[in-house]
Structure 1
Amino acid sequence: MSKIAAMSSTCSITGNKSESSYRIYARPSTQQKDAAALSLLIVRIYKGLKQLDPFHRRFSLEDKSIQYPYAVEERVPNWMLYIITSILPLITMIIISLGLKRSMHDCHHAILGFILGYSSTLVVTQLFKITVGRPRPDFIDRCQPVNGSTDATVYGLSTSDICTQTSQSILEGGFESFFSGHASTSFAGMGYLSLYFAGKLHVFDRKGYTYKAFIVASPLVVATLISISRTMDYRHHWQDVIVGSLVGFSFAFFSYNQYFPPLHSHVCHQPFAVRLKEPEPEHTADFSFHDGSTFKVSVTRKDGEIVHKSDYATTPEELNQV
């Protein structure tokens, strides 16, 4: 403060800029290109993996864990799964961001983050399914072994060659137990929605509002129930469900934090700034001191908030004393 008081009266301030010059918003065309390119790439990879046959792991006809009945009707079929875990979260976030927040910027980040996490989960899940090749709990019923079949005498295991199942899709699907796709996609979609709720409600602000906890936990409860239904249909072992849930939520957590601040931040309700060039400052002030040092202050409006930045340059003599 003493140096500022002793400074010479050399001060220059730039003029105001129009508000449109400092507001940073992604253009609608850029938003559409980002989402479309990312979606197209992931969908192509996923479709390519779906065309590959899973690894046929050897199994034992005496293994009780794969002798459950094959359920033709599932409690949560695929079409219902995608509506609950993808369409419903997207519609909810769009309503909140555009209807309540009135922010296209928030909507853009919410959708991109969701697409990143959900699509990545689909690809990784399918990749593990076809490479691991673990038999499902209902595999023997799918396989329909030849009457009188027994395990090999040398290694004590059997192969899919003993199966009489005429439907190739039912038989191949029997080797896609690890890990659960219903569990991973449920926690990827509903887990992301839960994180989105937590950020908007500041659930970790240490004020202890119970209703916030219920809102944040509700998507996770839905994801958990969907995951449990897979063991009720004998489609997955409990290990498949647990691993799938952890993988799905991990991708949700990773993708959310790519576009939004951590939940403990005081601005966790706001998305990160878009990846564009920094705006030019509205005001700048340069102060010169008698000893030759300078002090510069700039004021910038970024995402609707005023940001101050200051730079202090010392003399060469002072730098040598540090």
Structure 2
Amino acid sequence: MKSYLIDSDKGIDAIRKVDAADATPGKGQVKIGIKAASLNYRDLVIAAGGYMRNDTRPVVPLSDGAGEVLEVGDSVTRWKVGDRVSPIFVRDWIDGAVDDAKLKTGLGGGVDGVLAESMIVREQSLVAIPDGMSFTEAATVPCAGVTAWHALFESGNLQPGQTVLLLGTGGVSIFALQLAKAAGARVIITSSSDEKLEQAKSLGADLGINYAKHPEWHKHIRELTAGNGVDHVVEVGGPGTLERSLKSASVGGHVHLIGLLDSPAGKVSPMLSVFNLLTVRGIYVGSRQMHEKMLAAMTVNQIVPVIDKTFSFDEAIEAYRYFASQKHVGKVVIEL
């Protein structure tokens, strides 16, 4: 069985293809043949050394995948051979609250991920792929899609007519754009590329801001919202953009802290949060229950994942390099 493996902290150069043992599922386990896997910014960080709870070595990379059940172990009741399934991001987070132990089971970082021809998964750690959704499409959902859902609906309780600010055109932001528009929200999105902004508008974004042309983009946000600010900020930049995100939020607004795409270091005063009664909350993907809700919302609203480019399994390293170039809008997928 062919698999990829990260066994050092050398970034993309740390990833290599290996021959791995073709395991048999045990009690309560399922063996799935992987059909597609997608990349997230997290995967670049993990290859370069990882982060808290996501620095296991060696580890099979990538959290997001989809495939078909090849074999079931004893006592398995949820699945049968031939079922189309997708592993959840945090293997042991099924529903309800999460704890430290569960967070250590993030695929492709804490435990082995999906960039392999097959893998063994606990039966409770899978979701069904909806009819009409391809393996390639389903493989984009576990991290970026569930994160966007968690932020806007589980945490933010997004309401029709509210305004959402999205930073950039990566996977989380594009899923958030699609979900927010389906919920009747107004969406403002940022990018340093006018071409990417036009693509975002074609997907439903109401307004776009080129932050290279408007470095003080929070002021532009205020102008576009009659001085009120936005109800939600999906903050994927981190400390490098957080201060402007806080300044863009309305009184009582929500700032959903998700990523570290910008500078991982920086000092931001908490007083903006105090004076404007902001809810600032960290979002780390979500549970199986959230994943299932996300898939249901996509089905009802006929949301199709935005896939920028696909690569073959043998081209996985090229897929990483393309993803790292930040030329994409939406998701980059590896198909098997």
Q: TM-score, normalised by structure 2?
A: 0.21
Choose between structure 1 and 2: higher strand proportion: 2
Identify, as 1 or 2, the structure richer in helix.
1
TM-score by length of structure 1 reads 0.21
Higher relative contact order (CA 8 A, sep 6+): 1
Which structure has the larger Rg over C-alpha atoms? 1
